[in-house]
Amino acid sequence: MVSEKVIIAGFGGQGVMLMGQLLSYTATATELNTLWFPSYGPETRGGTANCSVTISEGNVNSPVISTPDSIIIMNKPSLDKFQKKLKKAGNLFLNSSLVTDVELRDDVNVYPVAANDIAIKLGNLKVANMVMLGAYLEVTKLFDPEKVLEILKKKFTGSKAALIEINKEALEAGKQAVL
């Protein structure tokens, strides 16, 4: 039975909400139950931002995730806030470009991904979120990245449509980072 609870956290402007929305919309498109719950800090860009996404074949009764199966961490303040909540043997996806010299739990699966560095090599720092999402999708096997791209194409219209190809490359680079 499909059941995944994930918290995605970082600074505002890092695409945290987009990652959560893509997971939630993909769940809906594949006829799973889902709930996406955003939380913003006092500022939008530069402040803290996180979202919780629950995906399940069963009913989703609450937006609150006290013990996530996975966490995707884009910055150190988010690691400090959410690492302790991750369930034992859960998945910790860590943007190792920004989060260094930290103590990590030894009872979880840690996937360091140099998301910012990879995104810069691809030519656009703003796709670091898609690098992390690609890593997450590869490890969890929750959704086929092509299904997520279908949703992205619906979301990125007009001038944003030009960003679809680099986002596709970023998803693939994230996958390769955890192989």
Q: Tens digit of pLDDT for each residue in 102-143?
A: 999 999 999 999 999 999 999 999 999 999 999 999 999 999
pLDDT of residue 40: 81
Domain that holds residue 128: 3-177
Helix (H) or strand (E) holding 10: strand 3-11
Domain CATH code at residue 19:
3.40.920.10
What is the pLDDT, as a whole number, of residue 43? 55
User: What's this model's pTM, rounded to 2 decimal places?
Assistant: 0.96
Cα of 59 vs its chain's centroid, Å: 22
* Token pair 């995730």 in the structure block, residue: 65
Q: What whole-number distance in Å separates Cα of residue 35 and Cα of residue 27?
A: 9
**pLDDT tens, position by position, 75-90:** 999 999 999 999 999 9
The predicted pLDDT at position 143 comes to 98
Summarised one tens digit per residue, pLDDT across range 35-83 is 999 998 765 556 789 999 999 999 999 889 999 999 999 999 999 999 9
The total domain count for the chain is 1
pLDDT at residue 1 in the model: 84
